[in-house]
Amino acid sequence: MTQIPANSVFYPLLNKQALHDGLIQPIQVHQTAVLVVQQGHKVHVIESKCGHFGVPLDTASVTETTITCPVHGFSFDLVNGRPVNREWENCDPITVFRTYWQGDTLGLAIIDGKPTQSI
């Protein structure tokens, strides 16, 4: 189990029992809207903000590897946040957060009020 950075504070998101296949759970973490998503056994925590026009991704569709914004159809890699389709158009990556476990609780490491990113 990876320890959170020494200068951070653990922010609990969900207990292990709340996780399930198909989960898309919005959670407000201080000033940041995050989404906990699970497809199959993989759990990811991302910022709920499309890299295209910044709309919330709460109603996005999710596969094991990507999340797709319902507005214009950009898809993003859930590990590195990069857009994976429509390469010919301008679009920023989404933010992917690094996750930690404390016992049965999934959470984030908060530094200066913001969750730490995975990359």
Q: Could you list the residues that contact ligand FES (CB under 6 A)?
A: 50, 52-53, 55, 69, 71-74
**Rounded CA separation 48/27 (Å):** 9
Least separation in angstroms between residue 2's CB and ligand FES is 31
Please state the closest distance from residue 29 (CB atom) to ligand FES, in A: 21
Q: Kindly report the three-state secondary structure assignment for every residue of the chain.
A: CCCCCCCCEEEEEEEHHHCCCCCEEEEEECCEEEEEEEECCEEEEEECCCCCCCCCCCCCEECCCEEECCCCCCEEECCCCCECCCCCCCCCCCCEECEEEECCEEEEEEECCEECECC
Residue 16 or 86: the one with the smaller Cβ distance to ligand FES is 86
CB of 75 vs ligand FES, minimal distance in Å: 9
Tokens, residue 74: 């950009």
The least CB distance from residue 11 to ligand FES, in Å, is 26
